[in-house]
């Protein structure tokens, strides 16, 4: 069975500091991994996916198959980055997403 | 393009009743997935519909059902409501051709009293 683990429920950093949100997964095949973000009073939206290898809003994430991790990083956090972040995995050809429990990021001024 | 829309946005029901939620996907999207979000269990997959057929199903009791219409709009139904069904129900749409990005609606918040 597939599983996504986000070990930090809450994470606070100061503005300008680096931030890393951890995500580990378990899946025997070749997964597709995503980071979704939910800003206050807004809908869940895609931040980035590993297959596109893009940097969105300064965030990057690298899939490490050896460590089965997909950590989200940003070198300089901004106050507008405060939000709930979900790591998600899609397996096989399914549209089914398995989500982690989420990490609430607060960027302090 | 207009985003995914869900109606109603809020709903209050009592135990034992049934409820129907509606989701309109992004134009051109043929796949609609439903998720339940609760503080305790987080985001959990309910089911996915594609071309009016249920293609994938999560681990929920048979009280949870859904359907999809020829215009790709989808409804989910919960019968014999229980207190534990109180949740935010999200639907997401995608083209349905692989592991592409899913676009989420704002959700319907259901409160069961």
Q: What is the pLDDT along chain B (113 residues), one digit of tens a residue?
A: 689 999 999 999 999 999 999 999 999 999 999 999 999 899 999 999 999 999 889 999 999 999 999 999 999 999 999 999 999 999 999 988 776 788 999 999 999 99
Considering only residues 65 to 84 of chain B, which have any Cβ-Cβ distance to chain A shorter than 8 Å?
A: none
What's the pLDDT at A53? 72
Q: Do A46 and B101 touch (CB under 8 A)?
A: yes
Q: Which residues contact B55 (CB under 8 A, 6 or more apart)?
A: A94, A95, B31, B48, B49
Q: For residue A106, count other CB atoms closer than 10 A to its CB.
A: 13
Q: Write the residue in A32, A98, A101 that is nearest to B99 by C-beta.
A: A32
Dihedrals phi, psi of A45, to nearest 5 degrees = -140, 150
- In three state form, how does the secondary structure of A25-79 look? EECCCCCEEEEEEECCCCCCEEEEECCCCCCECCEEECCECCCCECCEEECCCCH
- The average confidence (pLDDT) of chain A is 91
Question: Is residue B33 less than 8 Å (CB to CB) from chain A?
Answer: yes
Residue A76 confidence class, pLDDT cut points 50, 70, 90: very high
What's the pLDDT at B62? 95
Distance of CA B7 to the CA centre of its chain: 10
List residues of chain A with CB under 8 Å from any CB of chain B.
32, 34, 36, 43-46, 49, 86, 90, 93-102
Burial class (CB in 10 A: 0-12, 13-18, 19+), B50: buried
Q: Write the residue in A49, A93, A101 that is nearest to B101 by C-beta.
A: A49
Q: Write the residue in B33, B42, B104 that is nearest to A95 by C-beta.
A: B33
DSSP structure string for chain B: ----EEE-SEEEE-TT--EEEEEEPPTT--EEEEEEEETTTEEEEEEEEETTEEEEE-S--TTEEEEE-TTS-EEEEE-S--GGG-EEEEEEEE-SSSS---EE---EEEEE-
CA dist A27 and A68 (Å) reads 8
Residue A92 confidence class, pLDDT cut points 50, 70, 90: low
Output A17 or A51, whichever has higher pLDDT: A17
Residue A64 confidence (pLDDT) above 80: yes
Chain B interface, mutation test: which of A33, A44, A91, most B Cβ atoms within 10 Å? A44
What's the pLDDT at B25? 97
What's the pLDDT at A1? 77
Long-range contacts formed by B41-48: CB under 8 A, 24+ apart: B42/A99, B42/A100, B42/A101, B42/A102, B43/A86, B43/A97, B43/A99, B43/A102, B43/B90, B44/A99, B45/A96, B45/A97, B45/A98, B46/B76, B46/B89, B47/B76, B48/A94, B48/A95, B48/A96
- Chain B residues whose CB is inside 8 A of the A102 CB are 42-43
Point out the least confidently predicted range of A18-22, A49-53, A69-73, B61-65.
A49-53
Output A83 or A94, whichever has higher pLDDT: A83
Residue A29 confidence class, pLDDT cut points 50, 70, 90: confident
Q: Do A97 and B33 touch (CB under 8 A)?
A: yes
What's the pLDDT at A94? 61
Residue A11 confidence class, pLDDT cut points 50, 70, 90: very high
Residue A52 confidence (pLDDT) above 80: no
Q: Write the residue in B35, B56, B106 that is nearest to A94 by C-beta.
A: B56
Question: Is residue B62 less than 8 Å (CB to CB) from chain A?
Answer: no
């Amino acid at each position: 069975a597939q599983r996504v683990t986000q070990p930090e429920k809450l994470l606070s950093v100061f503005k300008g500091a680096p931030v890393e949100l951890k995500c580990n997964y378990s899946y025997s095949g070749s997964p597709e991994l995503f980071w979704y973000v939910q800003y206050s009073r807004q809908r869940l939206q895609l931040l980035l996916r590993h297959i596109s290898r893009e940097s969105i809003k300064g965030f990057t994430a690298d899939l490490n198959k050896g460590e089965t991790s997909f950590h989200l990083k940003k070198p300089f956090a901004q106050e507008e980055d405060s939000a709930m972040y979900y790591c998600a995995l899609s397996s096989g050809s399914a549209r089914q997403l398995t989500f982690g429990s989420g990490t609430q990021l607060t960027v302090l001024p | 393009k207009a985003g995914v829309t869900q109606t109603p946005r809020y709903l209050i029901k009592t135990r034992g009743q049934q409820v129907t939620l509606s989701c309109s996907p992004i134009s051109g999207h043929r796949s609609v997935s439903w998720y339940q979000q609760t503080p305790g269990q987080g985001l959990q997959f309910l089911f996915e519909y594609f071309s009016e057929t249920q293609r994938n199903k999560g681990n929920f009791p048979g009280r949870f059902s859904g359907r999809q219409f020829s215009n790709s709009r989808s409804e989910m139904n919960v019968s014999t409501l229980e207190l534990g069904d109180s949740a935010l129900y999200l639907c997401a749409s995608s083209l349905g051709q692989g592991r592409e990005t899913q676009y989420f609606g704002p959700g319907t918040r259901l409160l069961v009293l």
